[in-house]
Each structure stands twice: as structure tokens, then as C-alpha cells.
Amino acid sequence: MIHASRLFSDLAVGDVAKITRVVTPDDLYVFAHVSGNLNPANLPGTARDDDDMAASAPSMWIGSLFSAVLGNLLPGPGTMYEAQTLRFHARAHVGDLLTITVRVVELRAPGTVVLETKVERDGELIADGAAEVLAPTMRAVTDDSQLPALTVQRHRHVARLLAACEHLPAMPTAVVAPDEENALLGALAGAREKLIVPILLGDAAKIRAIAASCGADLTGVAIEDLPSHDAAAARAVELVHEGKATAVMKGNLHTDELLRPIVKSQGGLRIGRRISHVFVMDAPSLPELLLVTDAAINIAPTLEEKVDIVQNAIDLGIALGIACPKVGILSAVETVNPKIQSTLDAAALSKMSERGQIHGGVVDGPLAMDNALSLSAARTKGLHSLVAGRADILVAPNLEAGNILAKELTYAAQAQGAGLVLGAKVPVLLTSRADDEGARLFSCAVAVLYAHWQATGESAVKPVASPASPPEAAR
């Protein structure tokens, strides 16, 4: 938006300007960083039961909103503050639509302007006062589109899922080849948070050397000395069959080395459904968790295989507290094109969902990436469905597309990701070897919640009601 300044000679008593502003969680996080005010009453997720809506906006943040009107509209660019009085009458909270108004009440030559200032919510007075400013002495124009965008990095869904695991039993977990720092520390972090009871499988001398180099304590941790990665992976499967492990965790080895004994038709961990992988992504720029499948196992899945891939992801979504997951089947376009196989598969999967061949969620496709996640993009293209613009799960047409998407979310959108293999006898925690301790800990939490859902049929995660987005609330 373009803003033009008004000189002292342009102003008259009674001139009014106003803006509206929705209080968002990110506003409060940014203000906390800038001001150093860490009062939990003003921070989303800390005021009451991790509820963003319970956080009240800091009073001085409310007062700062007058600057937006004075500096942009009245008098506009070039305005300089001289004084401001404030009195606060009520509290504003996340989700509130505020109206900020300034009105000229006095003009003092040669250039001082006195303005009445107030903030209201649905006619209720939140704050008022008076501002004294120096009007611009030269005409100026500014464009607020030139202001750099800010992304607040926070992974509130990771914290929410970890909290949901607090009263669930830790899973005995066969950790395969934790002979690298991130792999070992990730397993130990899971133990520290009482998510898993690790059984370390691999070169015992190397594991102990890694622990010593990073100061990790292996007291009380079971270690089985095995001569190779292949032997460690095979032993993990044996521990599951013996009932000594209820999960398998990837360490510092290739995915195909880990999965080879798991997917064997004789003696493996198959249970009839196609084995597939799901990334659970918590991206600061997205309001909810996003599941991406399959980005690690099935290279070019057939339609029949995609049915199991979709069902596996829906089951995990339900386990993570998404009551009815919305599944977007991705392609390059959002219309069926006989020359693009992924659009035909998407249309078939959508119809199969309608007929009950896929259950527990809502499936729609084909969808391009933009109209799977952006409601405005979906509306622009005339798409009207429960999934378009609101997808909880994205199903990639092949492994290449899924892997690129997941890594883009991790490295370009600062997402924290968990990786889980589904369709086996037990959850298999599968992350990239480059993933840090946080990703492995997140994967432990996801595995615990999935195992709880498998055992009980109920999710341990409380559903979260999302507040209206700012544009919707403003309307």
C-alpha cells in the first residue's frame, strides 16, 4: 500500500484516520523478542493449557499500534513523536479484531499536532490517550510492500505432541547402528524424555567411543555388540519377534540396509499392507501439522500401492489427533489429464475414498501444490472441496517428488520433521542420517502416539481448535 504524508498546512481539527488489526500469536512473539518482556501471560501457549487464545497482548504493544496510523496515514510519512499518554481499560487477546483511531484535536504552530488516540474491540474501549507529534516538513511517499517479511520460528506442534506422550509408557526400541553423534544422542534424548527404552545394536566399541566424545552417559543402556549394519538390522527384527522390542529406530545406516530384513516375506515384519513412510512436518509458516508421503520407500508406486500409502497416512493422522484427515493427492495440475498418470491415480483414489475403499479421511485430487495448501489459490482456480486449500496430508506422485517436498519444508521453511515407517508389525522410526537430535526426538513422540492408537483405537492428542485467520476475522 502507498502512503503519502500530509504537511501541517494540510491538516484540520477533526481529521480522522483509522486502521484495523487482528492480534496474532506471531505479533506477541516478535514483541517479546524486541522488548525482552517474557511475561507468560503475554506469550501464546504459556498462559493456560497451551492455548494461544488465552494470551493477552502486552499493553505497550497495544500502545505501539498508534504509530502505524500516525506514521502512515495521519499526518503520515515523516511524522515525529513528541509525547504520548496512555490509559488501558481492557485486555486484548489473540484473535481479537482491533480498530485503532486517531483524530486531530489541536494544531499548534509552527508544526505540532495533538491527536486523540484510542483502540477499540467491537465498540469496547481497550486503550486511549493523546499523542503530540511534529507534522512532516516535506512531502514523502512510502510503500509498505517493501518491508521485509518475518517468519517466527516455533514448533508448537512438536511441543504439543511431546506433551501428549507424558503419561504413555516408554517403548522398548531396537536402535540400529547408533555409531554417529546425532544418531546416538537422538536415541538417548528419547530415553531421557521417557519415550523409548533404547537397545543399542551395533559396534559396541564405536558406540562407546562416540558417547565418550560427546559426553553422553550410557549407564543402564543395553548394548548388543554386532559385527555389521546388516547384522544389527537383522537383530532388530529378531528382538521384535521375541517381544523384547516394540519399535525399531534407524541410526547411522542406509535406509535399504535397515529395511531389507524388515520387508522380507519370510521372517520380516510385514503384516499384509504395503509398507510406506510418512514425514510429519511442523513448519512455522503453516497453521497445522502437515504429513508428506511417500518420500523414502516406494519409488514409483502403483495405484494399488497408493491405496495403502494413503490409508497408512490417514491412520497416522488420526493417531496424532486429526479427527478426519484431509488428504490431497498431488500432481502438476488440478485437472485430470490422461497423459499424466498421477492425475488418473488421484481421481481414482478420490473415488475409492467416496466408496469406502479408503476410510477415516477425506481424499481429493488431483491437486497442485498451491491449491492443496492455499485456500485463496484454490478459490482462484474454482476448486471447492473439503481438501483444497486445507490439506493435512500430501501424497506425492513418486518418491522423488515427495523427498524434494519434505526437504524443501525442512531447509527452506524451517520445518521440524519426524519420520515413521507404517505398515509393519511395529513402528519404524526412520529419519535422514543428517537429521539432528530434535528430529529424532520428534520421531520418538510420533511413534509412541501411533503405537498407543494401534493398541487402544484412541488418540492421546487433544484436538486443537484453530482460530480464524486474520483475513477471515477482519471480514
Predicted confidence band at 53 (pLDDT cuts at 50, 70, 90)? low
Average pLDDT over the chain, rounded to an integer: 90
**Separation CA 422–CA 13 (nearest Å):** 69
Q: Is residue 338 packed enough to be buried (19+ CB in 10 Å), middle (13-18) or exposed (0-12)?
A: exposed
Domain assignments of the chain as residue spans, ordered by start = 2-146, 272-423
CA angle 325, 330, 332 (to 5 degrees): 160
What is the residue whose three cell numbers read 504413555? 168
By the 8 A CB rule, do 248 and 262 touch? yes
Q: Is residue 138 packed enough to be buried (19+ CB in 10 Å), middle (13-18) or exposed (0-12)?
A: exposed
CATH number assigned to the domain covering 272-423: 3.40.718.10
Give pLDDT, residue 471.
Answer: 32
By the 8 A CB rule, do 443 and 437 touch? no
Which residues of 112-214 form beta strands (DSSP E)?
A: 112-121, 124-134, 141-143, 171-176, 196-202
Give pLDDT, residue 384.
Answer: 84
Q: What percent of the chain has pLDDT over 90?
A: 72
Joined together, the cell numbers standing for residue 342 give 498421477
Least confident of 23-27, 69-73, 188-192: 23-27
Q: Do domains 2-146 and 272-423 have the same CATH topology?
A: no
Least confident of 7-16, 76-85, 463-472: 463-472
Q: In DSSP terms, which residues pair with 187 in a beta bridge?
A: none
Predicted confidence band at 154 (pLDDT cuts at 50, 70, 90)? low
Give pLDDT, residue 475.
Answer: 26
Give pLDDT, residue 469.
Answer: 34
Give pLDDT, residue 472.
Answer: 32
Give pLDDT, residue 1.
Answer: 75
Q: What is the pLDDT of residues 292-315, one digit of tens each?
A: 999 999 999 999 999 999 999 999
What is the residue whose three cell numbers read 481492557? 90
Average pLDDT value for residue range 433-445:
83
* Secondary structure (DSSP) of 282-341: E-TTSSS-EEEE-SSS-SS--HHHHHHHHHHHHHHHHHTT-SS-EEEEE-SSSS--TT-H
Q: Is the pLDDT of residue 451 over 80?
A: yes
Average pLDDT value for residue range 418-432:
91
Average pLDDT value for residue range 169-189:
93
CATH number assigned to the domain covering 2-146: 3.10.129.10
Q: What percent of the chain has pLDDT over 70?
A: 93
Q: Is the pLDDT of residue 269 over 70?
A: yes
Which residues of 162-273 form beta strands (DSSP E)?
A: 171-176, 196-202, 222-225, 247-250
Q: What is the pLDDT of residues 157-172, one digit of tens each?
A: 888 899 999 999 999 9
**Separation CA 90–CA 98 (nearest Å):** 12
Average pLDDT value for residue range 433-440:
78
**Separation CA 384–CA 324 (nearest Å):** 18
By the 8 A CB rule, do 292 and 409 touch? yes
By the 8 A CB rule, do 400 and 353 touch? no
Q: Phi then psi for 218, rounded to 5 degrees?
A: -100, 15
Q: Is the pLDDT of residue 435 over 90?
A: no
